[in-house]
Amino acid sequence: MWAILSVLVENKPGVLFKITHLFRSRNFNIDSISVGITDNPDYSRMTITSYGDEKQIEQIVKQLDKMIDTVEVKHLDEHKTVFRELCIFKLKLSNANDSMEVNKLANAYGGKVHDVKKDSVMVEITSTPDQIKAFEELAKPFGIIDVARTGVTALQRSGA
């Protein structure tokens, strides 16, 4: 299963290292990780996506919880969570039509177009990993030059 973990940690040096080290030493998987400071500068929130069977995910949560620098660990329910990832694609433009086609595709996915050049263009998509994957499939025929992704960030919906 794919899991989104929201980990509130003390905002101090070395915590990211310890978290990633825990995943390595316990043989857990990290699919993506994103980190940012919260409104309270004492804390950072890490959003980690991982995969494993139910038992493994439960162990990951417990081991994270056991860490002294983690304040709160939540395994988020996808259906009760807003989760998004930002992704930038650099695509090839081979002929005159491509530019228009890319624009259409970007619009369909709520994306923005940047850095339009004669033979390349950048598209910024903010969506769920599934949607980004779908965009990627449709963008492939143009030729993908480069991709950069932020990893998922997420917050639980109110009342969830």
Partner 1 sequence: MESMTGAKALMTAMEKEGVKEVFGLPGGANLPMYDEFSRCDIRHILVRHEQSASHMADGFGRVSRKPGVCFATSGPGATNILTGIATAQADSAPMIAVTGQVPVAMIGKDAFQESDIIGMANPVVKYAFQPRTPGEVPEVVKKGFYIAETGRPGPVLIDVPKDVQQNEAPMNFPEEFKIQGYHPWTDPDIVACEKAIEMLLNSEKPIILAGGGTIISSAFAELQSIAETLMLPVVTTFKGKGAFPENHPLSLGPIGMHGHAEANKMMAEADCVLAIGTRFSDRSVGTFEAFEKRLKIIHMDVDPAEIGKNQTTNLAVVGDVRTSLRIMVKLLLQKQIKKTEESVWFKHVRETKEYWQENLKLHPGEMGAAKILRKLREVLPKESIITTEVGQHQMWASLFYDVIQPGTFFSSTGLGTMGWGFPASIGAKVARPDVPVVDIAGDGSFSMTENSLATAVLEDIPVIVFVLNNSTLGMVAQWQRTFYDRRMVGVDQGGCPDYVKLAESYGAQGIRAQSMDELDKAIKSAISSEVATVIDIPIDPEEDVLPFVAPGTSLSDMILPS
Q: Point out which residues bind partner 1 (CB under 8 A).
A: 9-10, 14, 17-18, 21, 25, 55, 58-59, 62-63, 65-71
Smallest separation (angstroms) from partner 1 to the CB of 158: 24
Euclidean distance between CA atoms 44 and 140, whole angstroms: 36
Sign of CA dihedral 85, 90, 94, 100: positive
Smallest separation (angstroms) from partner 1 to the CB of 83: 24
Euclidean distance between CA atoms 27 and 19, whole angstroms: 12
Measured from the CB atom, the residue of 66 and 133 that comes closer to partner 1 is 66
Measured from the CB atom, the residue of 69 and 136 that comes closer to partner 1 is 69
Contact between 30 and 20 (Cβ < 8 Å): yes
Euclidean distance between CA atoms 60 and 79, whole angstroms: 21
Measured from the CB atom, the residue of 58 and 119 that comes closer to partner 1 is 58
Smallest separation (angstroms) from partner 1 to the CB of 50: 16
